[in-house]
Chains A and B, each alone.
Chain A
Amino acid sequence: MKHRTFVWFILPSLAAMTLFIALPIVSVFIQSLFVGHEQVLVVSKSCGPFGCQESTAIDLEATEKLREEAPLGRFNGLGTYINRSHLAFAEIGVAWAETETFSEFWKVVGDLPFYRALAFTLVYTAIVTPVVILLGLAIALGVNALPKLLKGPSIFVSLLPFLVTPLVGSLILFWMVDGDGVIGATIQLIFNDPNLSLKASAALTWTMLIVYGIWHTLPFSFITFYAGLQTVPDDILEAAKVDGASKWERTLHVVVPHLMPLVSFVTLMLLMDNFRVFEPIVSFSAEAHARSLSWIIYNDLRESGNPLYGSAGATSMLTIIGVVILLAPVLIRTWRDFNRKAH
């Protein structure tokens, strides 16, 4: 393709990517470097149905003046990134100096909001991603081996979890695992402990969220692998059969290598998806035990009344960096494969 043609060819997608991906990220990054104006407080007297009280209020005129002078706020550089709500360098330094054993040190670090969320996010990603890939592959192989008549219905059933909106799906599961719900009550019956609660223990809550995550994303990997299985060349399978390879050996040495590019693709998608796990935490009311990076962003923007844009921006940038680090090995591998094929 000529360079000129190539430029015209990719121009629309390049423009769309700049507009919808690059610019928002740049904007978020710029906002994360600023913090709010100094709030000029005045002591005031407020009266209402419950009597009068000394109180403080914001001096709007003075604050407005500051706002006009610098609409973005005060420049804070990377200050927001290293404060206690994010990388917490100062707190970690103190913890390192003051604790004696590693376990004490990690306890302090694990109590800091960012690292606590990072821990859950990483564990969730590290478990859900491989399990979903392996199970998805297994189900795809299973369905592919079914008689034609059963294939359609079983594909449909396997896809169901994907059709349910995450928020609704996790709410339904949340009610089911309640002590009065069908799953919760059954588990209580099995362990003969009427006070067993899946929502009250951190370990069980994490398990519940991970199981939900697997249930919800499994159809994506299943349907992708199933589609890939339709492209496995029959003649190679025949040849392997003639050579005396067992079904297991054929799967391992012919089918799986054929699907490898798809495995890379599914891994990429799942890593990105799982790293920004969010909905189940809200639906399961699991904030007491599990918080994710996305949950911190949501909390900064929503729960404090007047949103903390700088803080939310910094967490977003750190999340993006986290995704890039996680994806790097897969991307490098894909790049090498690509180069090998090109030469």
Chain B
Amino acid sequence: MNIRHLGWAGAISVLMATTAYADGHATCGPEGQSIRILASDFPAIHAVVDAAEAACASSAAEFTRNHTTEARQIMNAALTPDPAEYTSVIVANSTLTQLMNDGLVRPLNDLVDKYGQNIPDNLKIDIDGNVMAIAFMANSQHLFSRTDILEQAGVSDVPATYDEMIAAAKAIREAGIMEYPIVMNMKTGWNVGESFNLVFLAHGGQFFKPGTAEPMVNSEAGVAALNTLKALVEYAHPDHLTQASNETQALWEAGEAALGIMWGSRGAAVLDDEGSTEEVTSNTVLSAAPSVEPGGVPGATLWWDGFTISTNVSDAEAEATFAALASALTPEMVAANNDDAVWLLEGFKPGAAAAGVSATAQGGAAPYPMLPQIGLLHNALGAELSDFLQGNESAEKALADVEAAYVTAAKEAGFLQ
């Protein structure tokens, strides 16, 4: 059992722990302050901010919120001036680094001492002893399967490895059920880069030489990952390089796919009774992301979403914002929105929609790397891999291009000399 298993075991035990939160009255911090929140736009985030607003808006002079899918694009600019446009940004692993690179979020240790008695240690995103964010939900990619179609094709078990997944896809095609049974988020750019990351980590790949910003993707693991990816997309629709989450979810709900690697956060939307047929929803099973060898590391990156507090706001505003958001993380909020996310909070009852993320995390999948230069490498992967996937160049050439593109960008950004 490696350290990741231990970490997740800790998370699960906290999940299952039954110690009750201190009594339900929210403590809202200093009165008459302005609370301004920037966040992504999906139901779980709305639920948290709604709860904070319900609890503490009345004691604040102002409570504003901006939910936008563009949060990542505007947050650095919005937090740079003093005072910052927002007192808090709700971030994920990758976006936290983007803010920390510019020093735009403050350590929360003193606020945690004052208002965070109920926040378990594993939800404190701790970097060298400084708590930089408070996580509240988890997400990862994992496998979606249509058991009825697998059965029809003579496949009895839900695939657990990439080889099994490819064999199942082949069986489905040969049985004449579907020509393209696999869906994956392969849209050129961030998505194809992320799809590579999944398979790369499953192959035991490392992105950088430890402690440096020197890339290591042009490696055996990198080539193996690309070959696996290529074998998978043989069974994906020819348009796969234009498909991201919205498109893959639509294909799934339309019953046009039987095996998918998609985000856990789409699980609830796929399984609910909207946008699809009974046939699709009742036969969709969510399970761990496939691994290379049976029992190996699942090909996924674990993500958390959590809140941060801006550096460039007054201490009183920071305190009020932290208290409001911390007061939202209650079992009641979780109970009311149980299926909207895989909550890391007390009171969460993992349902069918959370099964995939839980299994992937328990299988020991790696978290998305929190490295300051990862965005540059991810972008290089997103831009350079489509040539290989279209069959225009070899895996080695594509990975050499990725490293060259990354090194050029990393030199400009000052990570490499």
Which residues from chain A sit less than 8 Å from chain B, CB to CB? 35-39, 41, 43-58, 60, 64, 73-74, 76, 80, 83-85, 91, 111, 113, 178-179, 194-195, 197, 199-200, 202, 284-289, 299, 302-306, 308, 310-311
Bound together, the chains give a CA A84 to CA B400 distance in angstroms of: 13
- Interface residues in B, total, Cβ within 8 A: 75
**B344 contacts A58, CB within 8 Å?**
no
Are A111 and B387 CB-contacts (below 8 A) given A36-B414, A52-B7, A304-B409? Answer: yes
Min CB–CB distance A293 → chain B (angstroms): 14
Question: Which of A51, A80, A306 meets B3, CB within 8 Å?
Answer: A51
Query: Does B31 reach chain A (CB closer than 8 Å)?
Result: no
Closest residue of B by beta carbon distance from A304: B379
Min CB–CB distance B44 → chain A (angstroms): 15
Task: Please encode chain B, from 183 to 195, with 1 for each CB lying within 8 Å of some chain A CB and 0 for all others.
Answer: 0000111100000
Bound together, the chains give a CA A113 to CA B404 distance in angstroms of: 11
**A51 contacts B413, CB within 8 Å?**
no
Query: Does B382 reach chain A (CB closer than 8 Å)?
Result: yes
Q: Is the interface of B mostly helix, strand, loop or mixed?
A: helix
Query: Does B239 reach chain A (CB closer than 8 Å)?
Result: yes
Question: For residue B211, which residues in chain A have a CB less than 8 angstroms away from its CB?
Answer: 41, 43, 54, 56
Instruction: Mark the stretch among B121-129, B149-157, B287-295, B319-327 that contacts chain A.
Output: B121-129
Task: Please encode chain B, from 344 to 355, with 1 for each CB lying within 8 Å of some chain A CB and 0 for all others.
Answer: 100000000000
Are A53 and B412 CB-contacts (below 8 A) given A41-B213, A60-B103, A303-B189? Answer: no
Top 7 nearest A-B pairs (CB, nearest first) are A51-B7, A305-B375, A200-B238, A285-B242, A288-B386, A36-B414, A288-B241
Query: Does B304 reach chain A (CB closer than 8 Å)?
Result: yes
**A306 contacts B375, CB within 8 Å?**
yes
Question: For residue A51, which residues in chain B have a CB less than 8 angstroms away from its CB?
Answer: 3-8, 10, 367
**B379 contacts A299, CB within 8 Å?**
yes
**B3 contacts A52, CB within 8 Å?**
yes
Report which residue of A35, A39, A202 has the largest number of chain B beta carbons within 10 angstroms of its beta carbon.
A39
Are A287 and B189 CB-contacts (below 8 A) given A48-B122, A49-B11, A50-B8? Answer: yes
**A48 contacts B126, CB within 8 Å?**
yes
Query: Does B411 reach chain A (CB closer than 8 Å)?
Result: yes
Question: Which of A38, A76, A178, A286 meets B417, CB within 8 Å?
Answer: A38
**A55 contacts B370, CB within 8 Å?**
yes
**B190 contacts A303, CB within 8 Å?**
yes
Bound together, the chains give a CA A38 to CA B416 distance in angstroms of: 8
Min CB–CB distance B288 → chain A (angstroms): 15
Are A306 and B101 CB-contacts (below 8 A) given A48-B135, A48-B304, A49-B304? Answer: yes
**B390 contacts A288, CB within 8 Å?**
yes
**A48 contacts B414, CB within 8 Å?**
no
Bound together, the chains give a CA A310 to CA B8 distance in angstroms of: 41
**B239 contacts A178, CB within 8 Å?**
yes
**A113 contacts B3, CB within 8 Å?**
no
Min CB–CB distance B127 → chain A (angstroms): 5
Query: Does B26 reach chain A (CB closer than 8 Å)?
Result: no
For this complex, 18 residue pairs linking A to B, each with C-beta atoms less than 8 Å apart, are A35-B412, A36-B412, A47-B124, A48-B125, A49-B122, A49-B302, A52-B7, A54-B211, A56-B212, A80-B412, A84-B408, A194-B179, A199-B242, A200-B241, A285-B241, A299-B379, A305-B379, A306-B101
Query: Does B76 reach chain A (CB closer than 8 Å)?
Result: yes
Query: Does B100 reach chain A (CB closer than 8 Å)?
Result: yes
Question: Which of B190, B239, B393, B413 meets A306, CB within 8 Å?
Answer: B413
Question: For residue A73, which residues in chain B have a CB less than 8 angstroms away from its CB?
Answer: 414
New A-B contacts (19) at CB < 8 Å, excluding given A48-B367, A58-B100, A76-B412: A36-B412, A38-B417, A39-B372, A39-B414, A41-B212, A46-B128, A47-B126, A48-B123, A50-B304, A52-B7, A55-B370, A58-B101, A74-B414, A80-B412, A285-B188, A287-B383, A288-B389, A303-B382, A306-B102
**A111 contacts B393, CB within 8 Å?**
yes
Bound together, the chains give a CA A55 to CA B97 distance in angstroms of: 11
**B98 contacts A285, CB within 8 Å?**
no
Query: Does B415 reach chain A (CB closer than 8 Å)?
Result: yes
Query: Does B221 reach chain A (CB closer than 8 Å)?
Result: no
Min CB–CB distance B280 → chain A (angstroms): 16
Which residues from chain B sit less than 8 Å from chain A, CB to CB? 3-8, 10-11, 72-73, 76, 93-94, 97-98, 100-103, 122-128, 135, 138, 179, 187-190, 210-213, 237-239, 241-242, 302, 304, 344, 361, 366-367, 369-373, 375-376, 378-379, 382-383, 386-387, 389-390, 393, 401, 404-405, 408-409, 411-415, 417
Question: For residue A85, which residues in chain B have a CB less than 8 angstroms away from its CB?
Answer: 405, 408-409
**A113 contacts B127, CB within 8 Å?**
no
Question: Which of A37, A49, A56, A57 meets B414, CB within 8 Å?
Answer: A37
**A306 contacts B414, CB within 8 Å?**
no
Question: Which of B93, B128, B376, B387 meets A304, CB within 8 Å?
Answer: B376
**A41 contacts B409, CB within 8 Å?**
no
Question: Which of B239, B367, B372, B379 meets A56, CB within 8 Å?
Answer: B372
Min CB–CB distance A226 → chain B (angstroms): 37
Question: Which of A46, A64, A195 meets B179, CB within 8 Å?
Answer: A195
Bound together, the chains give a CA A195 to CA B235 distance in angstroms of: 12
Bound together, the chains give a CA A115 to CA B108 distance in angstroms of: 47
Are A46 and B376 CB-contacts (below 8 A) given A111-B401, A304-B409? Answer: no
**B103 contacts A64, CB within 8 Å?**
yes
**B125 contacts A47, CB within 8 Å?**
yes
Closest residue of B by beta carbon distance from A35: B412
Min CB–CB distance B73 → chain A (angstroms): 6
Min CB–CB distance A265 → chain B (angstroms): 37
Are A287 and B413 CB-contacts (below 8 A) given A49-B304, A52-B7, A303-B190? Answer: no
**A46 contacts B127, CB within 8 Å?**
yes
**B412 contacts A305, CB within 8 Å?**
no
Closest residue of A by beta carbon distance from B242: A285
Closest residue of A by beta carbon distance from B126: A47
Min CB–CB distance A258 → chain B (angstroms): 46
Closest residue of B by beta carbon distance from A194: B179
Are A50 and B239 CB-contacts (below 8 A) given A35-B412, A56-B372, A303-B189? Answer: no
**B190 contacts A195, CB within 8 Å?**
no
**B370 contacts A46, CB within 8 Å?**
yes
Min CB–CB distance A4 → chain B (angstroms): 45
Question: For residue A47, which residues in chain B have a CB less than 8 angstroms away from its CB?
Answer: 7, 122, 124-127
**B412 contacts A49, CB within 8 Å?**
no
**A41 contacts B372, CB within 8 Å?**
yes
Question: Which of B93, B126, B239, B379 meets A197, CB within 8 Å?
Answer: B239
**B383 contacts A113, CB within 8 Å?**
yes
Question: For residue B241, which residues in chain A have a CB less than 8 angstroms away from its CB?
Answer: 199-200, 285, 288
Question: For residue B102, which residues in chain A have a CB less than 8 angstroms away from its CB?
Answer: 306
Min CB–CB distance A281 → chain B (angstroms): 10
Question: For residue B371, which residues in chain A have a CB less than 8 angstroms away from its CB?
Answer: 55-56
Closest residue of A by beta carbon distance from B192: A288
Question: Which of B94, B126, B373 meets A46, CB within 8 Å?
Answer: B126
